[in-house]
Amino acid sequence: MAKSKFEYVRNFELDDTCLRNCYIVVRLDGRNFHKFSEQHNFMKPNDNRALGLMSRSARSVMEELEDITIAYGQSDEFSFVFKRSTTWFKRRASKLMTHVTSQFSSSFVYFWKEYFAEQPLLYPPSFDGRVVLYPSNRNLRDYLSWRQADCHINNLYNTTFWTLVQEGGLTTTQAEERLSGTQAADKNEILFSEFNINYNNESSMHKKGTTLIWEKVNETTTKLIKRPNEGETEVTVTRTRKKVTSHSCDIIGDQFWEEHPDILESDQ
Ligand code: DGT
Ligand code: MG
Ligand code: MG
Ligand code: MG
Ligand code: MG
């Protein structure tokens, strides 16, 4: 087919192919969720409807897009890890990033009612996205550890802050002053000695965030089978299916990775 004289504009497109052998991580984060959470009456410090909707949307990303082996989310962010050997969309960063963020955003709106029943969605939310490449298993694990450590630090702060306000009667300014310069041990101590709260017993989803992976699960169904001269008989059929499963566990230590050896591909 003859080319038009306009065809040359294609050459203005930049190559953004992700380096081979690297894990491709796409992290998205809610735009201005400080305001979004206030306007939609999120519970403080953690709103289980919002966290549930984030995870539901992340599951939709994993189910609809190719080659995502693990996703980790907390607060208004989610990270998606493409396997290091993926060739999906020729590893083009912009394609991978925009597919993840748009699939996530549309799912967030699509499933809103399932999680927020009586709370209407007041305006269309949006999420930013970025791509980061990690060349080794150690780097990838350190990335995920960084996000989980961030979750822990923020949750301990927010839990103590809102306990001081909601149960201790402090203003938000007073609570901020009270916590300025405190270490983790100080916050644990405030919760325990002043409010009889053992931080260890707080919800693991709030402390650890949410990790989504693919796992084989057995599904048993019953089927009606017609046999000649016997009429219909009911048989049970078990098949294994890969499903996205959700975990609120430590992913910094080795145990999680030893229990799920398929997530990482070997370093070469
Ligand atoms: P950005 O990301 O630069 O556009 O701005 P923000 O406002 O989204 O800031 P970010 O992402 O650093 O912080 C997340 C905000 O979302 C933070 O203000 C707290 C809020 N948020 C996230 N999850 C919850 C929740 O479960 N409950 C409440 N009350 N707020 C939440
Ligand atoms: Mg931010
Ligand atoms: Mg945000
Ligand atoms: Mg955030
Ligand atoms: Mg098209």
Section 222-228 average pLDDT: 85
Nearest atom in ligand 1 to the alpha carbon of residue 51 is 26
CA distance 20 to 17: 9
Buried b (16+ CB within 10 A) or exposed e, 217-242: eeeeeeeeeeeeeeeeeeeeeeeeee
CA distance between the termini of the chain:
44
* Neighbouring residues of 89: CB distance < 8 A, sequence distance ≥ 6: 95, 96, 99
pLDDT digits (tens, 9 = 90+) for 98-136: 999 999 999 999 999 999 999 999 999 999 999 999 999
In the reported structure, the alpha carbon of residue 29 is separated from the centroid of ligand 1 by a whole-number distance in angstroms of 9
- CATH code of 15-208, in short, is 3.30.70.3000
pLDDT confidence of residue 49: 98
Which strand ranges, in their side-by-side order, compose the sheet holding 210-227?
127-134, 23-30, 77-82, 68-74, 210-227, 231-247
Token pair 């065809």 is found at: 7
In the reported structure, the alpha carbon of residue 242 is separated from the centroid of ligand 3 by a whole-number distance in angstroms of 31
Section 85-98 average pLDDT: 98
pLDDT confidence of residue 54: 98
pLDDT confidence of residue 225: 86
With bands split at pLDDT 50, 70 and 90, how would you rate the model's confidence at 1?
A: low
Domain ranges of the chain: 15-208
pLDDT digits (tens, 9 = 90+) for 177-187: 999 999 999 99
Judged against a pLDDT cut of 80, whether residue 230 lies above it is answered with no
Contact 242, 197 (CB under 8 A): no
Q: Ligand 1 pocket: which residues have CB below 6 Å?
A: 29-34, 37, 42-47, 50-51, 75-76
With bands split at pLDDT 50, 70 and 90, how would you rate the model's confidence at 2?
A: confident
Judged against a pLDDT cut of 80, whether residue 11 lies above it is answered with yes
The candidate with the shortest Cα–Cα distance to 50, out of 135, 138, 111, 132, is: 111
Contact 213, 245 (CB under 8 A): yes
